[in-house]
Structure 1
Amino acid sequence: MKLLHIDSSITGENSASRAISAAIVSALTTADPAIEVTRRDLAADALPHLTLDVLGAPEGTPELAEFLASDVIVIGAGMYNFTIPSQLKAWLDRVLIAGQTFRYTETGPVGLVGDKKVIVALARGGLYSEGNPSAAVEHAEKYLRAVLGFIGIDNPTFVVAEGLASGPEAREKAVAQALADAGTMAIPA
């Protein structure tokens, strides 16, 4: 089994999403030491923004090949200005390729990679979950669910730490809970 570990946070060692995604990968590889892990750090090795030559390449890119070869994808993402980091968006632009991960039909688009399992470690400074006043402006999880659903991944798993900017105690508590959740992670059915 192949696992692709993507990190996109720009905050380095202070990143909650990186710590959580690493805990998820650790739990999965502890449960199954035969898992082959490939790691891509989109902040340290940023991809350029989408260009016409990439968009118009039906065979795709090395990033697409890496994605297609993986069975499980673990994505670490912080929420910046209500959405995902632009580095992660640039990676997604290389993964969402017509004819490779989705196709258009007379009745609409059809996802082609629904067999992949995706786990997202999402960190948010404020409180944006359902029922909070700021929920309407949360566009990181909503966007990732929409994009992954578009390519056929209808049930991604999210491990969320939020309220991280509410003070040291709130951050510590939220990260500890997310790390605990990550430590019990299994590959989604």
Structure 2
Amino acid sequence: MQLLHLDSSVLGAASVSRQLSAEIVARHQTLHPGIRVVVRDLAADPALHLSSAHMAAFHGAPTDDATITADLLKGNAYMDELVASDILVIGAPMYNLSIPTPLKAWIDRIAVAGTTFRYTATGPEGLLKNKKAFIASARGGVYSAGSPAAALEHQESYLIGLLAFLGVVDVTVVRAEGLATGPQAKDAAISRAFADIAAISA
């Protein structure tokens, strides 16, 4: 069994999403002794954003640009890691109502028609079957359903929709929100999230 652990926060040790994702991984290591964990720190080592050079290479054009070649190989590794993994843990803070750009760059490399999804006569079909995903969500404000700002939430909803598009429908969100509303609120949100993680079962 393999678990792919992605982090995307730029805050390092101060990141709540990193704390949560690490705890989720530790929980799975307890539940599945011997599980192989593959780690990708997307903030520390991000892929380039897609360019015309990438698109040309995707369509078979040769490239002599060493930077683009290395980045294409990184994208191939992203895909191989995802396809080989049974569990996906995504550390995803909210940045400006959405996800960090390094996480979007990762998505742009693994959302590939014919590999992770395909178009059919009845619509798109996800090809990543029988995988579980856990989203470690952290955000400064409160955007959960029923809150005044819920309509501005394009972080968790985007990831859930994207994963479903790729065929990953077993998705658990572990959320700590309201982190910027005061120290007590932050501590309480993190405590609730850790309790949710402790309740994760095999």
1:62-141 equivalences under 5 Å are 62-141=77-156
Structure 2's unaligned 5+ residue stretches are 60-71
SS class of match (2:160): helix
- Counterpart CA distance in 1 for 2:27 and 2:52 is 39
Distance across 2 between alignment mates of 1:174 and 1:54: 41
Q: Are positions 1:156 and 2:171 aligned together?
A: yes
Tell me the amino acid that sits aligned with residue 170 of structure 1. A
> Following TM superposition, by how much is the alpha carbon of 1:50 offset from its aligned partner in structure 2, in angstroms?
1.7
Q: Is the 8 A contact 1:127 1:163 kept in 2?
A: yes
Q: Cα gap change, 1:86/1:78 in structure 2, threshold over 3 Å: closer, same or farther?
A: same
Whether 1:57 and 2:72 are equivalent positions in the alignment is no
Distance 1:127 1:51 in 2: 35
TM-score normalised according to structure 2 size: 0.88
Residue identity (%): 50
Alignment of 1:11 with 2:11, yes or no, is: yes
Deviation, 1:48, is: 0.8
CA distance in 2, matches of 1:13, 1:86: 19
> 1:110-155: CA deviations, max 9, x gaps?
1000211101100011000001000000000111011111111123
Deviation at 1:54, TM superposition (A): 4.3
CA distance in 1, matches of 2:36, 2:190: 26
**Alpha-carbon separation, structure 1, partners of 2:192 and 2:132:** 22
CA distance in 2, matches of 1:110, 1:119: 21
| CA distance in structure 1 between the partners assigned to 2:149 and 2:127 by the alignment | 34
Kindly indicate whether the alpha-carbon contact (under 8 Å) linking 1:54 and 1:61 is maintained by their aligned counterparts in 2.
no
- CA contact 2:132–2:169 (8 Å) conserved in 1: no
Q: Is 1:146 matched with 2:161?
A: yes
- By how many angstroms is 1:97 displaced? 0.5
SS in 1 for 2:136: strand
Q: Larger % of helix: which?
A: 2
Q: What is the total number of aligned residue pairs between the two structures?
A: 187
The secondary structure found in structure 2 opposite 1:156 is strand
Contact 2:131–2:170 (Cα < 8 Å) also in 1? no
Query: Residue deviations 1:54-81, cap 9 Å, x none?
Result: 4563896111111101110000010010
Between the aligned partners of 1:133 and 1:114, the Cα distance in structure 2 is: 35
Q: Secondary structure at the match of 2:158?
A: helix
Q: Which amino acid aligns with 2:17?
A: S
Q: Which structure has the greater CA radius of gyration?
A: 2
Q: Read off the aligned partner of 2:33 and give its amino acid letter.
A: P
RMSD between superposed Cα atoms in Å: 1.6
TM-score normalised by structure 1 residue count: 0.94
Q: Which runs of 5+ in 1 are unaligned?
A: none
Give the match's secondary structure for 1:182.
Answer: helix
* Alignment pair present for 1:182 and 2:183: no
- Dislocated runs of 4+, deviation >4 Å: 52-56
